[in-house]
Amino acid sequence: MALESFPPLLLVCARYVMSGSLMLSAIALRGGRLPRGRELRAACLSGALVLGAGNGCLTFAELWVPSGVACLIITLSPFWMVGAEALLPGGEALHPPTILGMLVGLAGTALLFAPDMRTHTFRAGLLAGFLVLQLGMAGWAFGSIYQRRQATGAHPIVIGAVQQLAAGVTFLPLVLLFHQHSVHWSLRGAGAVLYLVVFGSIVGYSCFIFALNRLPVAIVSVYPYVNSVVAVTLGWLFYREPFGMREAVAMAIIFAGVTLVKRYSRPLAGDHAQYVTAEAREAGPPLPTGRLSGRSR
């Protein structure tokens, strides 16, 4: 709905500048510890990857594919996160049950490309949307794993706020360089942006970054399942987007593949999240009270 009023680049930029600024202002007023130096640079880089590339690609993909189909494709993101974890030093190596689960998930995604038996044509823009989403999922996965392995004295929600502002600022030069269609102001579009800022960014992403700091990658990566249900429901409710037997079967196959990955993923031998030093804990008050960094065991 937000794309009805705002061009993609401006939407991503405005969304994260607003959410990041609001959160960091509230954190500063409460006296929370803000990241500095290397910690700040790492948060900005991961924000550009996770939110800039990840959600930026999703925003563009939804110009070509319905939001429900886009959300189904994104259910492949756990495979990206498992793969990123395996590729980075010290990560869990891939093994046959995990690879089998990935192949099952890919089969479900391939079903989305199967030509409609009545028209024998592919959906317009589906291939382009699929490729853009793969790029976004790669950025989201590698950026998430990179941030997860950083030693930090700031609370995860503070890191998430920095990531959001960094992602918005990253898109600012693109907004100025590439002219897109003008903004078409409407109550519907403004409400959609407000929803994205509050529930998508401040609430939703904060929950994700907090969970990423405390839980194993395999558990955190399950978030697309809930997103897919919400996206399909909203797409059907507001736009009457098609969702037929092929999409339903594809979703079932994708879920089966991801379930195999989760069921047979071996626990990591070590904990990759770095724990904050005593000096960092003393550098400033936490926000909120509790452990500042690392997953609880």
Q: Regarding predicted confidence, which is higher, 199 or 227? A: 199
Mean pLDDT of the chain: 76
Asked if pLDDT for residue 34 goes beyond 70, the answer is: yes
Query: Does the structure show a pLDDT above 50 at 227?
Result: yes
Percent of the chain at pLDDT > 70 equals: 72
Model pLDDT, residue 163 = 94
The predicted model gives 122-130 an average pLDDT of 72
Interval 160-199: pLDDT, tens = 999 999 999 988 888 888 776 677 777 877 888 888 899 8
Most confident listed range (48-52, 180-184, 240-244, 251-255): 48-52
pLDDT at 282 over 60: no
Q: Which residues of 92-107 are buried (b: 16+ CB within 10 A; e: fewer)?
A: bebeeebeebbebbee
Q: Where are the domains of the chain?
A: 2-268
Q: Where are the alpha helices (DSSP H) in 75-125?
A: 77-87, 96-113
pLDDT given for residue 47 in this prediction: 92
Name the more confident of 60 and 157. Answer: 157
The pair of structure tokens assigned to 281 is 């804990």
Residue of 205 and 59 predicted with greater confidence: 205
Split at pLDDT 50, 70, 90, the class of 27 is very high
Residue 272 above 50 pLDDT? no
Cα–Cα dist 112/187, whole Å: 34
From the CA atom positions of the chain, what is the Rg in Å?
20
Q: What is the mean pLDDT of residues 238-250?
A: 73
Among the listed residues 231, 253, 250, 201, the one whose alpha carbon sits nearest the alpha carbon of residue 65: 231
Highest mean pLDDT among 37-51, 120-134, 188-202: 37-51
Spell 55-72 as b/e; 16+ CB within 10 A means b.
bbbbbbbbebbbbbbbbb
Alpha-carbon distance of 41 to 54, in angstroms, equals: 19
* Residue 243 φ/ψ region, left for φ over 0, alpha for ψ in the -120 to 50 degree band, beta for the rest: beta
Bigger pLDDT: 136 vs 151: 136
pLDDT grade for 112, boundaries at 50, 70 and 90: low
Q: Is 281 exposed, middle or buried (0-12, 13-18, 19+ CB in 10 A)?
A: middle
Query: What is the secondary structure of 216-272 as a DSSP string?
Result: -HHHHTTTHHHHHHHHHHHHHHHH-----HHHHHHHHHHHHHHHHHHHHPPPPSS--
Both tokens of residue 98?
Answer: 């995990």
Q: Give mean pLDDT, residues 65-81.
A: 77
Predicted confidence (pLDDT) at residue 18 exceeds the cutoff of 90? yes
pLDDT at 280: 42
Least confident stretch, 24-28, 59-63, 237-241: 237-241
Q: Residue 211 has what pLDDT?
A: 85
Q: What is the mean pLDDT of residues 221-234?
A: 67
Q: Supply the pLDDT for residue 120.
A: 43
* Cα–Cα distance for residue pair 283/158, rounded to 1 Å: 14
Q: What is the pLDDT of residue 154?
A: 86
Q: What is the dihedral of CA 110, 112, 118, 122, to 10 degrees?
A: -90
